[in-house]
Every structure is written in C-alpha cells, then in structure tokens.
Structure 1
Amino acid sequence: MNVPLLDLKAQYQTIREEIRKVVDEICDSQYFILGPHVEAMEAKIAAYCQTPHAVGVSSGSDALIIALMAAGIGAGDAVITTPYTFFATAGAVARVGARPLFVDIDPVSYNLDPGALENTVAAMDNGTRAAVKAILPVHLYGQCADMDPILDMARRHNWVVIEDAAQAIGAEYKGRRAGSMGDFGCFSFFPSKNLGAFGDGGVVTTTSAEMDQRLRMLRMHGMEPKYYHRMIGGNFRLDALQAAVVALKLDYLDGWTSGRQANAAAYRRLFQEAGLVQQVQLPVEVQNRHIYNQFVIRVTHDRDALRAWLGEQGIGTEVYYPVPLHQQECFNYLGHGDGDFPLSEQAATQSLALPIYPELSEAQLAAVVERIGAFYKA
C-alpha cells in the first residue's frame, strides 16, 4: 500500500465546488491583489489567532522579514533564535542586516530551550548583550515553544518577541494561541501547511495598532498615501486568490486539526501494539494543543536506512531538517563549528516525519507502522 507524505488532492475534493466558486468570483472581479478578500481573510485570521490585528503578506518568509523591519531590526543588531528550523527563520534575520544568535533546543519538543537561553545570555559579553534587540522562537512541527520564560526574559531585556508560527496556526500554550503572545506572530500559508493556500502566502499578527499600520505601509513599499513614501518597504502584498482560499479553508481547519490529532493517537496505539516504542521515540505533547503540522518520530539508529526502506515500500517520509542552520555554508561567517549545538545536531540525524494528514485511513496508518516493524525485524 502506498502512503504519500501528503495528499492535497484528497483535501481539495472535499471543498472543490466552494473553491471554484470563489475563484470564479475573483476572476470576474479582476481584483487580484489585496482588496476585500484579503481584508476578510485578515479579520478571520485575527479572530482565530486571538489577536486584534492581522496583515496578509506574500509568504511566510516575507512575514518574518516584514516583522523584523517593522520592529526596526537592522544592521548592528542581533536576534536570538534556534538553529533547528526551516532556513527562513535565520535567513530573515540576515536579510535585514542583523546577526542570528543561536540557542540550542529542548530535545523533547525540538523548540528553543529556555534553560539554554538563560545560560547563553549569562555567558554573553556586554557588547553582545547590548546588540540583542529581539528573540525569534519557533513553534516547530505544530507545538508551541515554552513561552512564559521566553517572554519573561524578553521583558527583562526589552527585546521584541517575534513568534515564528509558520507550522503552528491554532496551536496553544496555556490557553493562548500561537501568534498572540509576542509582539508579532508570523504564519505561512505554503500549500503543505495545515492551513495552506494555492501558492505562497502568509500573515503577520500583532497586538499593536501602531505596528499594524506600520506593517501595512511596509508591504506597499512604505507608501501612505499613494505614491508618497514615509519609509522604505517592499512588495509584500498578498494576492486575493490566496487570501480567499485561506479564508475558505479556515472554516475547516479545526476539523482537520482534530483529524491530525486522531491520527497521532492512532499512531501511538499502533506503535505500542507493534512493540516498537523502544526502537521509535514518538512525539511528546508538551503543550496543551499540538496541531501536528508534522508527526516526527526519533530513530536513534539507522534513520537514513529506515527512510530508504520506507521509500522502497511506497511510504512517504521527510527529514525536517537534515542540516542545522549553524552548519549551513551560508552561515560560516558566524564562526560556529560541529558540536556547538549538539541537541540540534542530534535531532537532525535522528528525526523522521511520517504521514499525518487528516484524510489518512486507518489502513494507511497501520501500513506505515507495519513497514517500520518489518524494517526492524529484518
């Protein structure tokens, strides 16, 4: 039995007629960029994320960049973040001219470790500590980072807090939604996300009316009013089509999330029944609402061999992420070496994402576990 890592066609079939109707509406209107569909989507996302404001932008990567710009982060500044994440997190910091400062992860949640953060800041010299202007925690795989100690540290040092919630819309930390706890929340609507558009798209949430206005100016080249530029921004505008798709899908998101959570529970039962919990470490729900953008197991031995075997058996998997950011060639100038962030490096060699999308059948889930069991028996 073939089990793809993701099957967006199955999702599309359930909403096909609604999607085609809104696409026709946009085509008939010929209003393709920003406009009423973007405004409607922003209002729905703000309400869903429990924030006063949401600003639609061109991608999740651009959401990070424009949030940093709005916060005034630039050359000479430093931003603390994790080395175990998608490239855009630290790439955005470098793009605005700031320097990424990495803190290792908690090995259970894969998110930035508050204890390591305390130790890192304590070890900084005065110049480095003064250069830090922001912290950028990531809610990886659909589970929020441990935000209370991070927020406390940010308050003590007067840092801006930018949540990278690209994989975590709807995730919660002690009853608070991802994107509502910091100064900014950055989301991606890349098609493979649990809330995906039909192309690139993103949104920035904020609690500040001032930052909301600043973000809206920055996404239009710093323009307000038309052809008058108060600041240098960029073209971070969101297409109406992507906004309309996201707004429509948002009505289904909680149901899809429940499906992902049910599949995660089924995996736990199946791995337990198969006697594989010693060979495979299952994800731990540290926070109270994990939305399972990915279901990531940890394999302490032969991860790559297992992945190759599953591929031969028609089981889709992925490694998120095989090379921590401090080991990426483009960040050589930061001066890090192997072993600097050992928990991130270990996760990069051991983690493996399995199919988790809500349309999976019980038979498909069982096939994944059965094939993993066959690998270890062999």
Structure 2
Amino acid sequence: MQFIDLHTQYKRHEETIDKAVKRVLEDGHYIGGREVGELESTLAAFVGRRHAIACANGTDALKIVLMAKGIGPGDAVFTTPFTFFATAEVVGNLGATPVFVDIDEKTYNIDPAKLDEAIGKVKKAGTLVPRAVIPVDLFGQIAAFEAIVPVAEKHGLWLLEDAAQSFGAQRGGRRSCSFGLASTTSFFPAKPLGCYGDGGMIFTDDDELAVLCRSVAVHGKGRDKYDNVRLGLNSRLDTIQAAILLEKFKIFPAELEARDEAARRYSTWLSGKVTTPFIEPGCCSAWAQYCVRSPRRGEMMAALKTEKIPTAVYYPVPLHKVTAFSYLSPVTLPVSEAVAQDIFALPMHPYLEVSEQKKIADVITSC
C-alpha cells in the first residue's frame, strides 16, 4: 500500500503526460517556454487572481514575496508553529524574526484571537516592528481569513497565504490562493497538484508586487536579465514541469473529488475510534493529508506497520521547539504542543481503493 500513490496516477495518464514532455523536448525551450506562461494564466484564472508568477519551489515562492516587500532585520512576521519548517525558515533567512502563534484546537490552523494577542505583545515590547502575517492552510483546509483579515487590518499588517497544502480547496466560495496580499503554493510531487520535480507559484492582485516578484525570481532583473536592479534569486519553473502540471490540471477536479470521497469514508469508519479532521462549515479541503489524533498513536502506528500500511507524523516538533529557532525567546504554545504528541497521518491520495481504506479502519478499530 502506498502513502501517496504517484505511480498509479502516472500509469493512468502516461500517454498524455509523455506527449507533453516530448513536445517540450522537441521544442527545445527548457526554461521559460510557452507552457510556463500558459500555466500561469490557467492557474491565475482558476484561483481568481490577476497575476500568477511561477518559480522553482514553494519555499522560494514565500521568500520571493517577503523579499519583494522588503522584509528584513527588525521585522516581526507572525505565523503558526504547526507547519513545515519552510514557512518560518524563509523569515529567518532574511534576518527577520518569526513570531509563533498557537493554533485552533479543531482545525490546527492559526488562532485569530491568539494572533491579535501576539501582535499586541510585540507592539508593546517595542523591540520589533510587526510587518506581516503568514497563515498556513494546514493539511488542505484554508485558514480562517474572515477572522484573520480584521486582526491584520487593525494592526496595519499585510497577509501572505501559505497555500502549499491547499491548492484546490475552497472557503466561503473562494478558492485557495485568493486570500491576502499574496498567496503561494507548492508543486512538490506529493502536493494535491504536484509536478515530477519541484515547482512553486505566487499569486497576487497587486500589479506592482507582481512586477517585483518577477524581478526577484530572476536575479533582480530590470528591463532584461543583465539590468540587475535589486538582489534576487535564481528561481524559475522548468518548462517540462509546467507541461506536466498543465496535463495534471486537466484531471485535478476529478482527483479532488476522489480525495474528498476517501476522506468521507475514513471519517465515517473511524468516528469514535480516533479524533477525525474537523472541516469548518462552508469549507472544502484539498486533503493534502488525512490526519487523526489518538493518545494511543504509537500502538496504532505499530499495528498499521505490521500490516504494511504506511503512516507519517505531521508534525512531531512544533517550530518554536526546533533547534534552528533556539535563538528565539522561549514560548509555551500548549495547543501546538499537545497536537504534536498524538497526531498521525493515514494514506491519502485519489487512487485509494475502498478495500485499502477498510483494512486501515479495521486495524485501527482493533487496537
């Protein structure tokens, strides 16, 4: 059994994917080919943004936006500690300070009330300048932007939606990557919409920010690549990956539906045995992961392993406790710390067989 079954996906769509790759090879434009522009316009229209800027990966996408906005030493950027390291890593890389805010105990996304408190504390301390908030759409569910936006506006901060796990999700009729001043996503192979290498995308409605992000992504270029007007990165999406993504996007709606059906089966069969994911009213998750909680996590994971069923833990150590951030002032974030102790992920992908899910549920139920 596969935790994420990319092989089955490829075999079912092998012919169209191979043809797309071959077209790029025959065309010979391996960087900046027409497929990159086509992907940008296609995905911008899908999420409802004016601009989409392709880049090399989801981490660079976050960093490019922060660089374009001039984030640096002395700045405070507020985010969740319950996410992948990259979200806060890019803040530290630029010399700014990540300020971790505890999460909602049901959704595992950043808690808007605690965000308000955290910003107030930083303002009162006066040693850092609050600049931005990076809410993360964890496990595929969009963060509570209807509550986060007023908090950010109250304090004069701008929002960067980290939608690396949520592409395709919806909240209140809006799609993932349509919230905040800018949004970013990842096309890492395991993501809901993934390529066969690395890739990322930035989305924004701000014309000036879009120009700046394109510049930062290509060595800070101005009129051309030799007119370097600012310090930037070398962060471009390869044409082959764009071609693959265009083909995979054609099957993406059906895959989202299949993920949702798989999640519903899990939740039905596991209800009362473990804490199943909570999806807020008016929300549709992209189900990047299906994570459950149990104080008997170790026993359950061991039983599943015996049956050759893979599992994973997202995330075993909240970011405020990782070694890389030991230079920050210590904080206690009880919800993040509690969730990290008993959460684990089950296989989730569009090609899960009902029989496979039933076996997983039976093993957990028997523990």
TM-score, L = length of structure 2: 0.97
- Aligned mates of 1:310, 1:51 — CA distance in 2: 42
Of 343, 352, 360, which residue of structure 2 is paired with 1:351?
Answer: 343
Instruction: Kindly state the Cα deviation for residue 120 of structure 1 after the two structures are TM-superposed.
Output: 1.9
Residue 247 of structure 1 deviates from its aligned partner by 1.6
Give the C-alpha shift of residue 56 in structure 1: 0.3
Moved more, 284-293 or 58-67: 284-293
Which residue of 290, 315, 320 maps to 1:295? 290
Distance 1:267 1:237 in 2: 38
Deviation digits for residues 24-53 of structure 1 (CA, Å, limit 9, x no counterpart): 111112211122111000011101111111
* 2:364 paired residue number: 372
Gaps of 5+ in 1: none
In the TM superposition, residue 164 of structure 1 has moved relative to its aligned partner by 0.4
Partner of 2:247: 248
The secondary structure found in structure 2 opposite 1:124 is: helix
Q: Is the 8 A contact 1:85 1:140 kept in 2?
A: yes
The one-character-per-residue Cα deviations of 1:217-264 (angstroms, maximum 9, x if unpaired) are 111101122201111111011111111111211111111010010011
After superposition, the C-alpha distances for 1:262-299 in whole angstroms (9 at most, x for unaligned) are 01111122224xxxx1x301101115211111111111
Could you say which residue in structure 2 is the equivalent of 1:143? 141
- CA displacement at 1:9 relative to structure 2: 0.6
Residue 63 of structure 1 is matched in structure 2 by 61
Amino acid at match of 1:52: R
Inter-partner Cα distance in structure 2 for 1:4 and 1:319: 15
Give, in whole Å, the separation in 2 of the partners of 1:120 and 1:156. Answer: 13
The answer to whether structure 1 residue 329 and structure 2 residue 329 are counterparts is: no
Matched residue, 1:318: 312
Q: Give 1:332's aligned amino acid.
A: S
Aligned to 2:119: 121
- Give SS of 1:280's match: coil
Distance in 1 between the 2:31 and 2:253 partners?
A: 28
CA contact (8 A) 2:165 2:186 kept: yes
The residue type paired with residue 355 of structure 1 is P
**Structure 2 CA distance for aligned equivalents of residues 128 and 35 of structure 1:** 48
Please state how far the C-alpha of 1:309 moved relative to its aligned partner: 2.1
Residue 211 of structure 2 corresponds to residue 183 of structure 1:
no
Alignment-derived partner of residue 166 in structure 1: 164
Aligned counterpart for 2:93 among listed residues 95, 98, 110: 95
How many residues align? The count is: 365
Question: Residue 213 of structure 1: CA displacement?
Answer: 1.0
Deviation at residue 121 of structure 1 after TM alignment: 2.5
The answer to whether the 8 Å contact 1:261/1:292 transfers is yes
SS state at 2:202 partner:
strand
Given that 2:109 and 2:136 are in contact with CA atoms closer than 8 Å, whether structure 1 keeps it comes out as: yes
The answer on whether the counterparts of 1:133 and 1:159 sit within 8 Å (CA) in structure 2 is yes
Amino acid at match of 1:18: T
- Asked whether the 8 Å contact 2:123–2:130 carries over to 1, the reply is no
Structure 2 counterpart of 1:262: 261
**Structure 2 residues without counterparts, runs of 5 or longer:** none
Alpha-carbon distance in 2 for matches of 1:164, 1:125? 24
How far residue 128 of structure 1 moved from its aligned partner, in angstroms, is: 4.0
1:310 to 1:154, Cα distance in 2 relative to 1, 3 A:
same
- Partners of 2:312 and 2:345 within 8 A in 1: yes
Counterpart of 1:294 in structure 2: which amino acid? Q
Among 264, 278, 283, the residue aligned to 1:284: 278
In structure 1, the residue corresponding to 2:13 is in which secondary structure? helix
The alignment-based identity, stated in percent, is 37
Cα displacement string for residues 321-344 of structure 1 (whole angstroms, at most 9, x for unaligned residues): 10100000010000215xx01111
Q: CA deviation at 1:92?
A: 0.8
8 Å contact kept, 2:316–2:341: yes
Residue 125 of structure 1, CA deviation: 4.2
